Amino acid sequence: MTEQDSDRDLRDRFAALRNEDERLAPDFRRPVAPARAYATSSLRRREPPGRARYRAWRVSGLITLLTLAFFFGQYVGNRSPDDGPVVQPSIGEWRSPTDFLLDTPGRGLLQTLPAVGGWPPDLWQPPSRPAGARPL
Amino acid sequence: MDEEELRQALQALHSTTFGWALDCCDRNLEEAEDVVQGSYVKILNGSARFNGRSSLKTFLFGVIRRTAAEERRRRLLRHLAFARWFERRPERGVKDPESSARESERSRRLIVALTRLPRRQREVLHLVFYQDCTVDEAAHVMEISAGSARTHFDRGKRRLRRLLGNLGNDEGAR
């Protein structure tokens, strides 16, 4: 059986089923009568759910905006004029909050410039010899 | 399209609509009637609006499919929630004996084979062979891409032929 023959066979089977189903279908007025009654009742005047949802979103968005505007107004209104403008320190005076980490032992020594012959004399003292010891 | 025109168009499509509803409800007559009525309510009260972007038939079939899915979910939840209090309902796809008697042997075999197919394959085959829709129209009704619909169609067709062959052999063996 070719592809076309097989398709034709399936189409015939479905057509036979359709003819049988047509006899099972209820009269059109049966499902439509309650549907029309519902559609013409007060329920019809109700908004479609999609539109109602859209309106709810818009209202909630507006409420959020108004709330934010209110709190912003409160914040601006509560600022005292004595506070004055905030003065920012210049970059030359600015200190990093972690500046203390650079305070290592001997930092002072590293920042001084040694002079020839002016090195701390105690470092140049020859070690003291015990009494009676022979010189090297 | 005013209400009278819409009503006439629905009437012209009524028998095919019912056939599609039957397929969406696993051939359950009572459920299919409920689904058809629910879909007409949606269309006539304006909660499902036809905007003319597709044919009325495609639009109507989409509404039927969605309503049937809602109904299935509702029934499943009701069944899960109140299973203890309600008597056991008949299994899906099993019809009353009266309608079974009306079906010819050939159609009965087709229905049995179709119930063994995955839902998407069954839907696309129904829309193409039973409703004479194109695969693109079927894809629109099923809210899937045309490529997916074509894949479901090809696989479904192969599987249906195999199932029909097996069922024919089984009947012949008896």
Domain co-membership, A32 together with A14 = yes
- Domain boundary residue, one of B41, B66, B94: B94
Q: Which of B13, B14, B43 to mutate to test the interface with A (most CBs of A within 10 A)?
A: B14
Q: Over chain B, what is the mean pLDDT?
A: 83
Higher pLDDT pick, B95 / B120: B120
CB contact under 8 A, A22 and B7: no
Give me Rg for the CA atoms of chain B.
17
The tokens of B13 are what?
A: 């499509």
Structural domain that includes position B18: 1-94
CB contact under 8 A, A20 and B47: no
Say if A83 falls within a structural domain: no
Q: Which amino acid is at A71?
A: F
Domain co-membership, A30 together with A10 = yes
Q: In the 8-state DSSP scheme, what is residue A82?
A: G
Whether the CA torsion A110, A112, A116, A117 is positive or negative: it is negative
**Global pTM value:** 0.60
The pLDDT tens digits of the residues spanning B39-48 come to 988 888 888 8
Distance CA B126, CA B153 (A): 10
Say if A110 falls within a structural domain: no
The pLDDT tens digits of the residues spanning B118-133 come to 999 999 999 999 999 9
> Among candidates A4, B14, B155, B158, which has minimal Cα distance to A12?
A4
The tokens of A34 are what?
A: 């309650």
Domain co-membership, A1 together with A38 = yes
Higher pLDDT pick, B10 / B104: B10
Whether the CA torsion B40, B46, B47, B52 is positive or negative: it is positive
Domain co-membership, A23 together with A39 = yes
Distance CA B60, CA B50 (A): 8
CB contact under 8 A, B11 and A22: no
Total number of domains constituting chain A: 2
Q: How many CB contacts within 8 angstroms connect chain A with chain B?
A: 92
Say if A94 falls within a structural domain: no
The pLDDT tens digits of the residues spanning A4-26 come to 888 888 899 999 999 888 888 88
Domain co-membership, B15 together with B66 = yes
Distance CA B150, CA A59 (A): 44
- Closest residue in chain A to residue B19, using alpha carbons only: A21
Structural domain that includes position A54: 48-77
Find the angle CA(A23)-CA(A28)-CA(A31) to the nearest 5 degrees: 110
Domain co-membership, A16 together with A56 = no
Domain co-membership, B50 together with B13 = yes
Q: Which amino acid is at B105?
A: E
State residue A117 phi and psi, 5-degree precision.
75, -5
CATH number at residue B1: 1.10.1740
- Closest residue in chain A to residue B41, using alpha carbons only: A35
Domain co-membership, B119 together with B170 = yes
Say if A36 falls within a structural domain: yes
Q: What percent of chain A has pLDDT over 90?
A: 13
The answer to whether residue A81 scores a pLDDT higher than 70 is no
Domain co-membership, A41 together with A5 = yes
Domain co-membership, A27 together with A54 = no
- Domain boundary residue, one of B59, B94, B129: B94
Domain co-membership, B76 together with B153 = no
| Residue B36 burial (10 A CB sphere; 0-12, 13-18, 19+) | buried
Total number of domains constituting chain B: 2
Q: Over chain A, what is the mean pLDDT?
A: 77
Domain co-membership, B115 together with B160 = yes
Domain co-membership, B89 together with B107 = no
- Output the CA torsion B152→B158→B163→B165 (10° steps): 160
Distance CA B147, CA B54 (A): 19
Domain co-membership, B88 together with B165 = no
Q: Which amino acid is at B31?
A: E
Q: What is the 3-state secondary structure (H, E, C) of B94-105?
A: CCCHHHHHHCCH
CATH number at residue B172: 1.10.10.10
Question: Which ipTM was obtained for this model?
Answer: 0.79
Domain co-membership, A9 together with A20 = yes
Contacts of B20 in chain A (CB under 8 A): none
The answer to whether residue A123 scores a pLDDT higher than 60 is no
Say if A15 falls within a structural domain: yes
